[in-house]
Structure 1
Amino acid sequence: MNYDILEEIKKSQSTKELWGILAQNMMRWGVPYVASWVGSVPGNAQIETNRPEWWMQYYLEQHHPINDPAIQHCLYHKGFFFYSTTDDQPSHIPPEGARILSEAKDLLGFNSGLVFPVFCNENRLGGMSISFETPLQDLEKMPIKDFSEMLVCCNVAFERFAQIHNKKITPEGGLVSREIDCLSWLARGLRTADISKKLNISDATVSFHLNNAKKKLGATTREQAVARAIVLQIITPN
């Protein structure tokens, strides 16, 4: 994991500086565009993206957030939503949503995407959207370690983005030493089995500590828990 990039993101003083750092780093994963928002979409959300200004103006003028399947997922669901802009869309995506994805491919040139909502203590804070040059079937071949590193980087950016916009993120409670140990090794790229060997505890115990850490940090994924712990200076993975 590139800890220097994470430190740069943590220390960024404006959304423009933050997104410049993030966008440049995301290119190594074939990501031309990334977007994030704090608040409700559509509504009074603070949106930041490196997508062209003309596209964002058109996107908002056409009221696309109302029908964008990626936005709708972040409003009403949890977890990751992978989508393709090139294939026939699944039946649960309405025609208007499919048209938006087709426009994104034709006008912006990306072939697949990933969106996910961000929570703190079960409250929706906003979400992130990542656009990929590669087709969806190739995206699914990305090594787990690279995928996790990319998600940690995006989540650190979101946490800093929220801080800049004065969105208070308050974890439920303090972490115990074993939870911090497990998170620290997870931030270094180790998986559950590797962490159990490092700490001489069982895989189940590692999972137990990581799940507790997630809950205390108000996170819904391991990557978000790591990112929040880094931004709050609970762990220093380097």
Structure 2
Amino acid sequence: MKPRRSVAEARTAAGRRLVLSEQDGAWAISLDGQELMHSRAHASELALAEVGWADLGTAAPRRVLIGGLGLGFTLRRMLELAGPDTVVEVAELVPAVVAWNREHLRELNGACLDDARVVVREGDVAAMIRQAPRGRYDLLLLDVDNGPVAMVAAGNASLYAAAGLRAVRRALRPGGRVVFWSAGPDEAFAARLRQVGFAVEAIPAKVHANAKRAAYMLYAASAG
């Protein structure tokens, strides 16, 4: 097996070291030496899009916001599911991640950024949601940080607090849907979703499609 090589690195706003690496054709992004995502462990990123789209269908134009570009798997799957009139906004906090997708990860999923349906927005997805007009989105897919327990940036925690969840609900049209990726079960988070008026379903998600057990949790919440 070839050694892992560092391809590019950047700093977060808080000064933490983010590294893009490659090994035997597989790609990974790590934060201060801790792996955040890997191209051979992306089943939950695909499931995020599939769970979100499941109850929406493709008959009418849709506006979707994906929070967190990562290695682009959720974006790719959403474009596969969505119709030609769907607008897919992608919010990414770290500009270097967008640049890496365009340059180094183009053959993985980076070419999806050139799809005419895609709008790339660099910045804080929580702020974008707070500033969005009421009912702007049909679907929100939020793979931000490590889920309800922030790891990359402490400010991400605001998205999962009650005020952040109320902003999410306001940004969704009636009957719209949000799906949160979480590193594990979080009953307190599910309770907060219900408290602000969401109907919530917790859906286990695997690391690999053929894994025997689920490792992550997707929280799908519908706005009445």
Q: Under a length normalisation based on structure 1, what TM-score does the superposition of the two structures give?
A: 0.26
Q: Under a length normalisation based on structure 2, what TM-score does the superposition of the two structures give?
A: 0.27
Higher helix content, 1 or 2:
1
Structure number with greater CO (CA < 8 Å, separation at least 6) is 1
Higher strand content, 1 or 2:
2
